[in-house]
Amino acid sequence: MKIAMMTNNYKPYIGGVPISIERLTEALREQGHRVVVFAPKYKHLGKEQEPEEDVVRYSTLSQHFYSNTVLPNPLDPVLEETFAREEFDVIHVHHPVLIGRVAARLSQKYNIPLVYTYHTQYEQYLDYAGLIHWLSQGAAKDNLLGRIRCRGSKAIKQELAPWYLSGFMRRCHTVIAPTEGMKRVFRSQYGYTYNCQADLAVLPTGLPLESYQADSRAVGAIRQQYGDGQMPLLVTVSRLGHEKNVPFLLRCMARLKQYLPDFRLMVIGDGPQKEEYMDLCEQLDIRQQICFLGSLPNREIAAHMAAADCFVFASKTETQGIVILEAMAARTPVVALRASGVEDLVEDGVSGYLCPEEEEAFTEQLLRVLQNEPLRDGLRIGAFEAALQYREDAVAEKAVKIYTDTCRQYAMTQVSAQIRVFRDLRERLRLPG
């Protein structure tokens, strides 16, 4: 097949969506399919990206938003020129806005079926976007302007955003959810309320082979560096932004310190709230226990996960929990908040534990894992076995089936539409037969 993969962000930008796209693209290519990725240029990084085969870079506007992300220019003629030259079988778009609008237009113009992956719960992330954050902050003020800003914030989150998203998804021929849980969320929020009847499929992000093969020497060195060889060692991988609920995790670490003073938490990731969280560690008197490592290459992340006794996670806005799968592939038990995008991956008591958003309950389960080595060993086995079903090659095969089914259904719809046009014409002309 020839697949157009369209995105608002891609490497070198670090995030769940670029990782998902890169892994799926590589696995599809290994199986003999041609995949052309349409992604933005990142000129603000100070250098041009190296040319990559079958990666079309379109221009970006100068405005920056939401940390290190750029604002794509959806009017770049390279998009139209490439589609006019190539004959794609299917378009797979990963965002409903900006490049998503372009993908919908190109789908209609060139009669190509459109597949969309619902990566992000945009309604929840809007709280941290500039305009909504400004409106929400002002809503706390008990005056006329505060009440107006409150209503404006609610209107955008509860009405405008779902209305826009459902309108976009009605233009898609298949919508992909990363987990069964997100499929249920989609049905309840868009299928019924907004009458979005697109075909639904489930396709998780695949794990590359190296995720299952951590370097034992690197693992030992990491345990020695951060855990002194014997100290309980924890890890989390997260963007350091408000939407990831990191302060909850840090408060739980302060509770854990009361029972286990000598532990370390490795925090992998970066973001706009890093300094704020480091200050919070000082306030909670856990600065010595928390190691902020910044962003790391994927192979190093796998080694850090394998070195840890437990992976901890507090985000409530995940659609698929890629880092949780990576931790499980590294044979690391998981303690996380029970939330959509997480509970489909972690089986309670088998590969880890899911907790309510209560600091005492979270800390209790964490202690349970850290203080019981036989239990921890059993969870390691359960985590690894669960992760095996998410191998890249298996996920790519599922993707091809989704594309094929979508193309077949699209072709049948096109034929049905032509028959309806012919019947209507015959009625108007009153032709016999």
For tokens 């290519």, name the residue.
Answer: 29
Report the pLDDT value the prediction gives residue 107, as an integer from 0 to 100: 97
- State the DSSP H helix or E strand holding residue 57, giving kind and residue range, or none if neither: strand 55-58
Report the pLDDT value the prediction gives residue 122, as an integer from 0 to 100: 62
Structure tokens at 77: 């003629």
Q: Is the dihedral of CA 20, 21, 24, 26 positive or negative?
A: negative
Helix, strand, or coil here: 382? helix
Residue 31 burial (C-beta neighbours within 10 Å; 0-12, 13-18, 19+): middle
Structure tokens at 264: 């370390």
For tokens 């034929």, name the residue.
Answer: 415
Number of helices (H), then strands (E), belonging to the chain: the values are 16, 15
For the chain, the C-alpha Rg in angstroms (whole number) is 24
CA–chain centroid gap for 384, Å, is 21
- For the domain spanning 209-390, the CATH number is 3.40.50.2000
| Dihedrals phi, psi of 116, to nearest 5 degrees | -130, 135
Report the pLDDT value the prediction gives residue 159, as an integer from 0 to 100: 65
- Level-2 CATH architecture, domain 2-117+170-206+392-423: 3-Layer(aba) Sandwich (3.40)
75 with 43: CB under 8 angstroms? no
Cβ neighbours of residue 292 under 8 Å, at least 6 residues apart?
Answer: 267, 274, 277, 278
Structure tokens at 423: 């019947």
Report the pLDDT value the prediction gives residue 241, as an integer from 0 to 100: 87
* Fold agreement (2-117+170-206+392-423, 209-390): yes
Residue boundaries of the structural domains of the chain: 2-117+170-206+392-423, 209-390
107 with 91: CB under 8 angstroms? yes
Strands 60-65 and 69-72: antiparallel
Report the pLDDT value the prediction gives residue 148, as an integer from 0 to 100: 52
| Dihedrals phi, psi of 231, to nearest 5 degrees | -65, 140
Amino acid at 3: I
List per-residue pLDDT tens for the chain, 433 residues long: 999 999 998 988 878 889 999 999 999 999 999 999 999 988 765 555 677 899 999 998 754 544 556 777 878 999 999 999 999 999 999 999 889 999 999 999 999 999 999 887 666 555 555 444 444 454 455 555 555 545 545 555 556 767 788 889 889 999 999 888 888 877 777 654 445 556 889 999 999 877 778 888 999 999 999 978 789 999 999 989 888 999 999 999 999 999 999 999 999 999 999 999 999 999 999 999 999 999 998 889 999 999 999 999 999 888 788 999 999 999 999 999 998 889 889 999 999 999 999 999 999 999 999 999 999 999 999 999 999 999 999 999 999 999 999 999 999 887 766 666 666 666 766 655 5
Report the pLDDT value the prediction gives residue 163, as an integer from 0 to 100: 79
Q: How far apart are CA 277 and CA 290, in angstroms?
A: 10
User: What does 201-238 look like in DSSP terms, one character per residue?
Assistant: EE-PPPB-GGGG---HHHHHHHHHHHHTTTS-EEEEE-
